[in-house]
């Protein structure tokens, strides 16, 4: 996914500033107005940079006269002590914008960094790492973009751009094959969106394959069962493993022969990157 458009970023930033600045920055009013100052942002850990557009937009909305000069590109690998950017402008403006700008940068960099860790963990297996819809409310498009900055791939963006048939859908439809048949019609009406179905055992997998499934999610299969599923599938559908995935387990899951592994941890359990902004 490419970065969200300028209007979307501006709207996200406006909401974030509204909740932080409110009617005005009381503490910044203690700082003299006259004269520009310069600050720099450094990374306090190894990370993948993500969120430059949001960072820039925060300062633009607070004070269009502030200048941000980046030392590294988006998606760049950072190390502890890497200078990320320099900021020049009125001290009050820099102080008012600081926390909101860093919040975006640390959250999106945290997502990108986590994605990169999972991609690295399965290097050489050919497995694709996918994100999920377990995102921070209001920041899904931003986090989905951050996932790609970390080298992983997006699953569906929301409920509107693909069909994922889960256990409750199957129960309501009556069977795996019935759910798939209904989904085919919905997919055609929606312009040919992709269909994926979640199965819980090999019997459901075989039923899905017989019904023409081209993409199947294997829900909470252990590794032995994943290998059996890969053998049963014999290349008929793209197989995705999900459930019980973390950095300690993912390599063994990838080595079972599945095509994709979806990881909610990338966007759900965000571990913010530590950035520091200091006046020079």
Q: Which residues are part of the catalytic machinery?
A: 99, 134, 166, 198, 219
Angle (nearest 5°) at CA 49 between 254 and 12:
105
SS3 state at 243: coil
Six-digit token string for 71: 């030392």
SS3 state at 70: strand
SS3 state at 225: helix
Which residues of 61-188 form beta strands (DSSP E)? 67-70, 77-78, 83-90, 128-130, 162-165
Residue recorded with tokens 């008012």: 96
Residue 123 phi/psi, 5-degree rounding, is -55, 135
């Amino acid at each position: 996914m490419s970065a969200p458009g300028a209007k979307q970023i501006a709207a996200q930033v406006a909401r974030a500033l509204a909740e932080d600045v409110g009617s005005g920055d009381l503490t910044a009013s203690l700082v003299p107005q006259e004269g520009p100052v310069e600050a720099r942002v450094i990374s306090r850990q190894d990370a993948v940079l993500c969120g430059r557009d949001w960072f820039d937009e925060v300062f633009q909305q607070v004070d269009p006269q502030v200048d941000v000069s980046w030392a590294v590109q988006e998606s760049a690998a950072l190390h502890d002590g890497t200078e990320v950017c320099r900021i020049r402008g009125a001290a009050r403006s820099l102080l008012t914008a600081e926390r909101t700008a860093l919040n975006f940068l640390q959250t999106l960099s945290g997502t990108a960094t986590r994605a990169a860790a999972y991609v690295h963990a399965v290097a050489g297996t050919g497995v694709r790492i996918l994100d999920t819809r377990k995102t921070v409310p209001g920041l899904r498009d931003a986090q989905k973009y951050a996932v790609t900055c970390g080298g992983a791939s997006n699953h569906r963006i929301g409920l509107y751009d693909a069909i994922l048939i889960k256990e409750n859908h199957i129960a309501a439809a009556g069977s795996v094959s019935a759910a798939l048949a209904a989904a085919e019609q919905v997919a055609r009406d929606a312009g040919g969106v992709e269909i994926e179905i979640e199965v819980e055992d090999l019997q459901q997998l075989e039923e899905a394959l017989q019904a023409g499934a081209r993409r199947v999610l294997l829900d909470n299969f252990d590794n032995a069962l994943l290998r059996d599923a890969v053998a049963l599938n014999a290349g008929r559908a793209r197989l995705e493993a999900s459930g019980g995935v973390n950095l300690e387990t993912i390599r063994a899951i990838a080595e079972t022969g599945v095509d994709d592994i979806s990881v909610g941890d990338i966007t759900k359990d965000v571990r913010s990157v530590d950035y520091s902004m200091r006046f020079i």
